[in-house]
Structure 1
Amino acid sequence: MDVELRHLRAFVMVADCGNFTRAAEGLLITQPALSRTIRQLERIVGVQLLDRSTRHVALTPGGQEFLVDARSALASVEHAVRRVSGRASLRLGFSWLLPDPWAQRVVRLFEDQSSASVEFVSCPDPLGALRSAVVDVAIVRGRQPEPTAEIQMIQLFSEERIAVCSVASDLRHLEELSWDEIPKWPLVVNTMSGTTGLWSWPEGHGPEMTVETATFDEWVESVAANRGIGVVPEVAQRRIAHPALRFVRINGAPDVPVRLAFIPRNSGALIRRFTEAALEAAESITTPASKG
């Protein structure tokens, strides 16, 4: 058996997620199927690529070397397919709820100016999808990831934060909360793409209890079940229609930065045009004044 693209995509996704469960979600396959694919790849190359001895999957030295070439191969194939097929499109990765009205404006601008189309790709880890060549650009919210030479980020604008609680919560009748009051309550955190977690407060000043979830849907249902409260960009209030949730304004909360991420070495004409359209669309978004 030869190495196939599915092997490379599976390996790169696991390497980026550091976890088979999340990688399987990103690839839209089952975890057993993903494990079989990785074992096939290791048999083909004759090298152990992943160290499964710990809860967090790590790359072996051979896996680290192979990852560089796997990324390059995926990007090259994608470029070749697009060029020969003549289908011009750009894949926009996001983990949950694209910002509005920015998303609608940037798509209209980009498609009018380039005659290309935008494909929307929902993924639990947008930066991992970007590194794996699953998407061309990605929307990233919240705290700034560790800087790397590989990925470039452009800040577009900021979003206000809002609290979310269950209809069974003691907070449900409040009209507003202070940011300083949030740590008094258990906080439900999306560990993959959440915008609010312990990192949002100085050390020792955050919530004493957090409930971790790995996807946006898990986060929604955990808050609805009154496991704790959530804090998200205010776009959620306009877009989430869940009968068991209530939204509460927050005073003094820092805004959530929204960034566009891309890989400079892969930035062809379409990505450059999309970046220009993204910045133009962002100019029409009123950036809330900082509150914190």
Structure 2
Amino acid sequence: MDVELRHLRAFASVARHRSFSRAAEELLITQPALSRTIAQLEGNLSVRLLDRSSRHVELTDTGAEFLVHVERVLATLDQALAVAGHRVTLRLGFSWLLPDPWAQQAVGLFEESTAATVALTRTDDPLQALRRRILDIAVVRGDFDAPRGSRTLHLFDEPRIAVCSEHSDLTRLGHLAWTDVRYWPLVVNTVSGTTGPWSWPADQRPAQIIETANYDEWLETVAANRGIGIVPEAAQRRSRHPAVRYVPLTDAPPSPVSLVHMPDARRTLIRRFLDAAVQAAASGAAPSTTH
């Protein structure tokens, strides 16, 4: 008999919900696809497992007996996968401070539901690491050129804030308007920065750009009063430097946060993390962009 695991999971879901529509939602497939899967199972077994004659889906006598064995098989399989899952690691890369508390919630949900673990890897260029298959998923801020063939999931947006040296004239201002950034030298992280000359129309860009290659160089250049910087507001809470100050930035467009992955790599594991990431973002763990 050509009975596959997908047939058993589909049947168990329909039997549990007594509904094709709710089972399709749980399995993340369309209702017609689910109906075809159940029909294939019944055809392979040459028996009718579900009675669709009433308004609600009901099990036939054979279906009820079959369900007992199917649930036992699936439970045993899930236990085996959980044991193996403890040895499975998903590699999540980032260039600078993971958004909180989203990251902690997403990792926790994923590890709890899969028994796999997440290895957090900081790298100056997470997209390059993704291209080289050093990472499974990359957390990327700002606008970027995604690797060819990759998939991108936008999670949420972060508000921006201005950063300057304690000796900068900017410290005497109560705030900085987004359109006035062009009057200040701007320090840019060219590898993984979220803000750069590309963030403004050509006629509104800062006249002087100081380029750095990573976050540490960027921070020390700002601290040395070579120019100002623009970063997500999370920096004010989590990245302390005695020689820098933070100034509110008004009318600034928010900075997007996205997950990027290759579709041909560890598909099931990645999909489970994406589900956890979206759930964490929807639960209120994402930063607010309101002021």
For the criterion TM > 0.5, the same-fold answer is yes
- Secondary structure of the residue aligned to 1:164 is strand
Deviation at 1:289, TM superposition (A): 5.3
Amino acid at match of 2:202: E
Deviations 1:173-224 (A, max 9, x none): 3221111111100000000000000000001211000100001000000000
Deviations 1:221-267 (A, max 9, x none): 00000010000000111111100010001110000000000000114
**Separation of aligned partners in 1, 2:86 and 2:196:** 44
- Secondary structure of the residue aligned to 1:265 is coil
**Pairing 1:183-198 to 2, within 5 Å after superposition:** 183-198=182-197
Amino acid at match of 1:128: Q
Give RMSD over aligned pairs.
Answer: 2.0
**Pairing 1:4-83 to 2, within 5 Å after superposition:** none
Amino acid at match of 1:243: P
User: Which residue of 1 is the match for residue 232 of structure 2?
Assistant: 233
Contact 2:99 2:286 in 1 (8 A): no
**Pairing 1:195-274 to 2, within 5 Å after superposition:** 195-274=194-273
Deviation at 1:143, TM superposition (A): 0.9
User: Which residue of 2 is the match for residue 138 of structure 1?
Assistant: 138
- Secondary structure of the residue aligned to 2:124 is coil
Contact 2:182 2:204 in 1 (8 A): yes
- Secondary structure of the residue aligned to 2:96 is coil
Deviations 1:91-113 (A, max 9, x none): 10001111111111111111111
User: Which residue of 2 is the match for residue 59 of structure 1?
Assistant: none
User: Which residue of 1 is the match for residue 128 of structure 2?
Assistant: 128
**Separation of aligned partners in 1, 2:286 and 2:89:** 29
User: Which residue of 1 is the match for residue 158 of structure 2?
Assistant: 159
Deviation at 1:86, TM superposition (A): 6.8
Deviates most, 85-94 or 157-166: 85-94
Contact 1:93 1:139 in 2 (8 A): yes
Deviates most, 264-273 or 223-232: 264-273
- Secondary structure of the residue aligned to 2:230 is strand
Amino acid at match of 2:101: P
**What are structure 2's unaligned runs of at least 5 residues?**
1-83
**Separation of aligned partners in 1, 2:154 and 2:188:** 23
Name the count of aligned residue pairs: 208
TM-score in terms of structure 1 length: 0.68
Contact 1:183 1:207 in 2 (8 A): yes
- Secondary structure of the residue aligned to 1:264 is coil
Contact 1:189 1:196 in 2 (8 A): yes
Residues 207, 273 of structure 1: CA spacing in aligned structure 2 closer, same or farther, 3 A cutoff?
A: same
Deviation at 1:144, TM superposition (A): 3.5
**Separation of aligned partners in 2, 1:105 and 1:152:** 22
Q: Extract structure 1 runs of 4+ deviating beyond 4 A.
A: 286-291
Deviates most, 127-136 or 158-167: 127-136
**Separation of aligned partners in 1, 2:132 and 2:239:** 30
**What are structure 1's unaligned runs of at least 5 residues?**
1-83
Amino acid at match of 2:229: G
